[in-house]
Amino acid sequence: MENERQKIEIADIFRQFEADYYQQHDLIREKKKAFNAIINCRSQNMGGHTLKCDTCGYVQHAYNSCRNRNCPKCQYLKQVVWVDKLKARLLPVKYFHIVFTVPSALHKLFYANQAICYDLLMRSASQAILKAGENPAFLGAKTGCVAILHTWGQALTYHPHVHLLVPAVGFDSDLIEWVSSEKKFFAPVKALSSLFRGIFAENIYKHANELIPSDNSERSERLNIPFLRTLIYKTSWNVFAKSALNNAENVIEYLGRYTHRVAISNSRIVGIVNDQVHFIWKDYRQNGRTKIMKIKAVEFINRFMMHVLPCGFYKIRYYGIFANKLCNNLLDTYLALNNKEMDLSSLEGKSWQEIVHDTFGYDPFHCKKCKTGVMIWQINIDAEPRAA
């Protein structure tokens, strides 16, 4: 039994070129786990189950999902649930979208020290936002943000950056009175860039002794504070800011496209020609013009695996007034001050079957053949061991 597929998937590329890839590259445990999960997802190697209609006797076989967060086939329902929960957390106000990007001079250092550097990137970006927000020249209030880490560009190149959604509002220093901004942008990008770079530099200096060199040089020669200072300050740091999104619904819809995305989706794969993978990408240097990228399959796999995050790393984080310890109380304060009601989560506490029904409009246990029966769980199918 095989699940139907309409196109070539990333799993097909991994499967076909697995041997070639391992001849040229080694994978650490976490990346090897993701690699195998993507290959085996919804296949015989994951095991499965059989369902039978209680009315017409129709039998349906299905393989299990891997549920790995790097799998392009296992993220959509997680995204739907997360977005729904966020409705009960976000303030119903305007939001700014701001992107903090790491300069290419730091890419090797970041890749060699992903857990430390990604954490510092997210914390430094959020600290820059909170500090700028308190500046009377900008918002002049205590604010917060939702931060989402991405490490890739459209061509699967290594490009660490953080997307932040920042409310155009905040609280005064006593967290009692409400302060709002009618400005189109949160703060000048040059000011944010300078602030971000300075905060990141201060944070990474504290971890200088923990960093692994990105080449074969001795740690004592390279990873000291003067070297890091030179590396950080030899180039400009970029901050990209979009104009404010008008309401929370637009924000939630926008966030949903970013939160549980992996480096590339199956829908962008065009095909495999000999030993090359062809996929769709947007060239933002040419106003987002759509192009076809053609690269060696082994290089495609290598680029994909570069974006597997360290084990246990949280790529979605909440800061300031959105932090867990403050969020509920401050949201209640805002709603009371503005005489508004909170949106409740419509999916919380529901089973995955109910979520599928609410999201896609059909019951996954409704018989597709007779249209009246209910599919009853019959047997579990054990996974077949995969050859090493």
Q: What is the pLDDT of residues 137-163, one digit of tens each?
A: 888 888 989 999 999 999 999 999 999
Residue 226 domain flag = yes
pLDDT at 362: 77
Distance CA 278, CA 35 (A): 20
Tokens of 131: 């500090």
Q: Are residues 40 and 142 in the same domain?
A: no
66 inside domain: yes
Beta bridge partners of residue 277, listed in sequence order: 272, 295
Domain match, 320 and 368 both: no
Question: Which domain, by its residues, includes 131?
Answer: 76-263+311-338
Residues 164 and 56 in one domain: no
Residue 109: band (very low, low, confident or very high) from pLDDT cuts 50, 70, 90: very high
pLDDT band at residue 291, thresholds of 50, 70 and 90?
Answer: very high
Judge residue 136's burial from the number of C-beta atoms within 10 Å of its C-beta, 0-12 exposed, 13-18 middle, 19 or more buried: exposed
- The DSSP call for residue 138 is T
Residues 170 and 222 in one domain: yes
How is residue 36 written in tokens? 């195998």
Domain count, the chain: 2
Say how many residues make up the chain: 388
**Do 171 and 80 share a structural domain?**
yes
Q: What is the pTM of this model?
A: 0.85
**Does any domain span residue 291?**
no
Kind of pairing between the strands at 144-152 and 158-167: antiparallel
- The reported pLDDT for the residue numbered 81 is 80
Are 53 and 100 found together in one domain?
A: no
Q: What percent of the chain has pLDDT over 90?
A: 40
Same domain, 18 and 150: no
Domain assignment present for 19:
yes
Q: Give a yes or no: residue 170 inside a domain.
A: yes
Contact 169, 179 (CB under 8 A): yes
**49 or 332, higher pLDDT:** 49
Report yes or no on 173 lying in a domain.
Answer: yes
Least confident among 35-39, 59-63, 282-286, 360-364: 360-364
Q: Which of 71-80, 86-95, 211-220, 310-319 has the lowest mean pLDDT?
A: 211-220
Would residue 252 count as lying in a domain? yes
Helix (H, G, I), strand (E, B) or coil at 173: coil
Based on the domain organization, do 86 and 177 belong to the same domain? yes
Same-domain pairing of 196 and 235: yes
Q: List residues bridging with 164 in a β-sheet.
A: 98, 147
Classify residue 39: in a domain, yes or no.
yes
Q: Which residue has the higher pLDDT, 204 or 328?
A: 204
- The verdict on 214 and 354 lying in the same domain is no
Residues 49 and 152 both lie in one domain: no
Shared-domain flag, residues 152 and 39:
no
Non-local (6+) Cβ contacts of 219 within 8 A are 211, 212, 213
How far lies 322's CA from each of 142, 213, 317, in Å?
11, 35, 9
Helices (H), 206-342: 219-222, 225-233, 248-256, 297-305, 324-338
